[in-house]
């Protein structure tokens, strides 16, 4: 637990970067500091490892004032990851990762074994061990940065816009990787970003800071999206916070329509007769996997004539946001729901999703405090 | 080539001996200069305000002709190699101090931040992070300093044959043997070229971490996204 208690920072030139900030950062979770550029995120993060000394207030780690420890020992107990990784360009990947263990007096052999282990953990090819940073892409360098920060197994990880400089596809991969690693290691992570989407994707809790270093709101992503504390937070969330909030509602209880799903080889005349309006049906293969949409009145049974069914969603794993998205994208207006093995469970139209949203909202209103948003909802976006 | 290696006996050295003396008088001052420039450069980076005065002083020293140095130094160090080497050492500072400063300043801000965030103290950071990264800049300065030092040694001939290969120039004049002058000039140039090549080689050995052809490949994000995707674990690929 990191306790930031009434901390301020005024720089020598008079700039007030952080103003009487108080935050409780729990263990085993990711706390995101988010806010516009210049709002004091980096300053706050650097006060935790004493790269910046507060002008007022106290920071405690597990109850102990951070000033009571020698500064270098304190820093070695906190991993630090920054934008562009800040790798040591003159050292191999393996030696970069082994830096802190070596500083802590581990033997070269043991530090390198540990480094190799971490390369695997962050998804780096072992063949890269002997390479130098210039031989890696930006995303790979960032993985090395994460591995280096984790090398001595510090209980705390400080990350300052670590993924801001890589392209969106790579960033997405890095975010998923971080969530996976956090699932395994359960560190106290403080993650700084100016990107609200990133904050919502990876944060268990989000602290929104406003310019001048004041805390605007500190809550779960779900709470922030559904009830922003003030117009500043609302504006920072952007125009589609309602849609994004659906990320935290599960598809588990969605009412799926199974009457429109037929395995290939069914009697088409009978189906057509049953529904003279020719409402489309979803044709599946013998295993129940989707093949495509058919108009039962016109279809002659040729699989090549089926209309592609587009992306599907997985019930339970994906959120209502994904389900709604699939319905909007579908040529028939119906989203295809599958289980983990890819078998069709049914289809759902936009109205069905809307009904599910209303139910979820009502249920949420009934059982405040809102602890609905947890790691399980997060995995499904 | 007849007579190229035929050195008058009053020089008291063979051709090879002259080369050895020349190299010693040229390289030792640069080496000492480098040892001085490393801490001076560090101080200049750390205390920004002294860099100006330091640069100014070394430039002024560089502007003083070696003869003037000799006149002053002879009273203390006599007609010795030391009298030649002291000014050469001071001259080298005009290149080496800025080279060290530029080298340390070339260390990216995030690298310094990462080092200090990992609890690497100042001394260790200088020796293990900043100096290695400064090697390319320092080696560039060293090449200039060495080349100019090799050519300047010859002036030592003016104070009792302390100029290495330069002594051949005075002898050529004395005995009316211009061919000795050719030997001197050609050999000095060859020395400068060979030593420079060795320095280039040394730099290669010291910096296996540098992108080939001077950083064209860039450090950040130059490689492709596809390469990234390839390293991602299956979980990351959904
Ligand atoms: N060393 C410094 N000296 C003076 N002002 C600074 C210094 N570092 C940051 N600032 C100022 O403090 C404010 C907060 O900076 P920072 O913490 O870096 O913000 P963020 O990381 O949110 O972009 C900014 O106005 C910035 O200009
Ligand atoms: Mg910042």
Q: pLDDT-derived band of residue A371, with 50, 70 and 90 as boundaries? A: very low
Relative to the CA of A13, which ligand 1 atom is closest? Answer: 4
Domains of chain A in sequence order: 2-238 (3.40.50.300), 239-381 (3.10.580.10)
Which mutation among A40, A162, A193 tests ligand 1's pocket best, with the greatest number of atoms within 8 A of CB?
A40
- A275 reaches B (C-beta below 8 A): no
User: Three-state SS across chain B?
Assistant: CCCCCCCCHHHCCCHHHHHHHHHHHHHHHHHHHHHHHHHHHHHHHHCHHHHHHHHHHHHHHHHCCHHHHHHHHHHHHCCCHHHHHHHHHHHHHHHHHHHHHHHHHCCCHHHHHHHHHCCCCHHHHHHHHHHHHHHHHHHHHHHHHHHHHHHHHHHHHHCCCCCHHHHHHHHHHHHCCHHHHHHHHHHHHHHHHHHHHHHHHHHHHHCCCCCHHHHCCCCCCCCCHHHHHHHCCHHHHC
Q: pLDDT-derived band of residue A276, with 50, 70 and 90 as boundaries? A: low
Nearest CA in chain B to A99: B118
- Residue A309's CB is within 10 A of a number of other CB atoms, namely 23
Q: pLDDT-derived band of residue A273, with 50, 70 and 90 as boundaries? A: low
CB-based contact B110 A82, cutoff 8 Å: yes
Which mutation among A13, A15, A210 tests ligand 1's pocket best, with the greatest number of atoms within 8 A of CB?
A15
> Could you report the predicted ipTM of this complex, rounded to two decimals?
0.81
pLDDT for position B102: 97
Q: What is the mean pLDDT of residues B78-88?
A: 90
Distance A88 CA to ligand 1 centre (A): 25
Distance A47 CA to ligand 1 centre (A): 12
- Give the integer Cα–Cα distance in Å for A176 and A78: 22
CB-based contact A176 B235, cutoff 8 Å: yes
Q: What is the mean pLDDT of residues A355-359?
A: 87
Q: For residue range B8-59, list pLDDT tens digits in order.
A: 877 777 888 899 999 999 999 999 999 999 999 999 999 999 999 999 999 9
Q: pLDDT-derived band of residue A188, with 50, 70 and 90 as boundaries? A: very high
**CATH of segment(s) B14-208+220-231:** 1.10.3720.10
Q: What is the mean pLDDT of residues A224-229?
A: 90
pLDDT for position B44: 96
Relative to the CA of A9, which ligand 1 atom is closest? Answer: 12
Please name which ligand lies nearest the alpha carbon of A164: 2
Q: For residue range B54-73, list pLDDT tens digits in order.
A: 999 999 999 999 889 988 99
Place of tokens 């089926």: A306
pLDDT for position B32: 98
pLDDT for position A379: 42
Task: Calculate how close chain A gets to B110, using CA atoms only, in Å.
Answer: 5
pLDDT for position B233: 37
CB pairs under 8 A between A and B: 133
CB-based contact A86 B110, cutoff 8 Å: yes
Give the total residue count for chain A.
Answer: 381
pLDDT for position A366: 74
What is the DSSP pairing of strand A156-160 with strand A78-82?
parallel
> What's the pTM value of the predicted model, to 2 decimals?
0.81
With an 8 Å Cβ cutoff, the interface of chain B facing chain A consists of 108, 110-111, 113-121, 129, 132-133, 135, 207-211, 215, 217-225, 227-229, 231-233, 235-238
Q: For residue range A309-334, list pLDDT tens digits in order.
A: 889 999 988 899 999 999 999 988 89
- The closest residue, in CA terms, to atom 23 on ligand 1 is A38
């Amino acid at each position: 637990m990191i306790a930031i208690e009434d901390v301020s920072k005024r720089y020598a030139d008079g700039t007030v970067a952080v103003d009487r900030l108080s935050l409780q950062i729990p263990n085993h979770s990711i706390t995101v500091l988010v806010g516009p550029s210049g709002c004091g995120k980096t300053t706050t993060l650097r006060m935790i490892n004493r790269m910046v000394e507060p002008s007022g207030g106290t920071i405690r780690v597990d109850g102990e004032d951070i000033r009571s420890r020698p500064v270098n020992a304190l820093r070695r107990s906190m991993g630090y990851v920054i934008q562009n990784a800040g790798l040591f360009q003159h050292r191999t990947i393996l030696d970069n990762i082994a830096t802190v263990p070596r500083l802590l007096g581990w033997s070269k052999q043991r530090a390198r074994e540990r480094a190799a282990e971490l390369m695997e953990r962050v998804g780096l090819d072992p063949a890269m061990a002997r390479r130098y940073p210039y031989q890696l892409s930006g995303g790979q360098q960032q993985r090395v940065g994460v591995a280096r920060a984790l090398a001595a197994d510090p209980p705390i990880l400080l990350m300052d816009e670590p993924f801001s400089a890589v392209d969106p596809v790579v960033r997405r991969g890095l975010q998923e990787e971080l969530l996976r690693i956090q699932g395994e290691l359960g560190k106290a992570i403080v993650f700084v970003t100016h990107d609200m989407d990133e904050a919502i994707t990876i944060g268990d809790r989000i602290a929104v800071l406003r310019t001048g270093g004041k805390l605007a709101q500190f809550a779960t992503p779900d709470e922030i999206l559904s009830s922003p504390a003030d117009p500043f937070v609302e504006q920072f969330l952007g125009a589609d916070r309602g849609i994004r909030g659906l990320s935290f509602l599960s598809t588990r209880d969605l009412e799926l329509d199974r009457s429109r799903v037929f395995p290939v080889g069914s009697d088409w005349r009978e189906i057509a007769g049953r529904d003279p309006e020719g409402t489309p049906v979803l044709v599946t293969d013998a295993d129940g996997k989707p093949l495509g949409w058919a108009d039962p009145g016109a279809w002659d049974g040729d699989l090549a004539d089926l209309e592609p069914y587009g992306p599907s969603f997985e019930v339970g794993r994906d959120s209502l946001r994904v389900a709604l998205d699939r319905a909007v994208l579908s040529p028939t207006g119906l989203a295809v729901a599958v289980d983990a093995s890819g078998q069709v469970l049914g289809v759902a139209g936009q109205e069905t999703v809307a009904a599910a949203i209303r139910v979820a909202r009502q249920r949420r209103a009934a059982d405040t405090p809102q602890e609905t948003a947890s790691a399980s909802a997060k995995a499904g976006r | 080539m007849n007579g190229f290696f035929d050195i008058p006996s009053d020089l008291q050295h063979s051709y090879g001996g002259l080369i050895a003396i020349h190299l010693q008088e040229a390289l030792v001052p640069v080496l000492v200069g480098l040892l001085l420039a490393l801490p001076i450069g560090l101080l200049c980076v750390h205390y920004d305000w002294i860099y100006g005065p330091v640069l100014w002083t070394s430039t002024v020293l560089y502007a003083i002709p070696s003869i003037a140095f000799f006149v002053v130094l002879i009273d203390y160090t006599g007609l010795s190699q030391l009298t030649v080497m002291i000014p050469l050492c001071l001259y080298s500072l005009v290149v080496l101090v800025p080279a060290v400063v530029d080298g340390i300043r070339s260390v990216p801000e995030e690298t310094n931040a990462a080092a200090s965030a990992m609890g690497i103290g100042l001394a260790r950071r200088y020796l293990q992070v900043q100096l290695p990264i400064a090697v390319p800049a320092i080696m560039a300065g060293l090449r200039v300093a060495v080349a100019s030092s090799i050519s300047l040694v010859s002036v030592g001939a003016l104070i009792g044959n302390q100029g290495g290969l330069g002594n051949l120039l005075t002898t050529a004049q004395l005995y009316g043997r211009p061919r000795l002058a050719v030997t001197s000039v050609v050999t000095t140039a060859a020395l400068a070229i060979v030593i420079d090549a060795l320095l280039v080689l040394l730099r290669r050995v010291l910096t296996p971490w540098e992108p080939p052809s001077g950083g064209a490949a860039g450090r950040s994000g130059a490689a492709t996204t596809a390469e990234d995707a390839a390293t991602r674990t299956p979980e990351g690929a959904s």
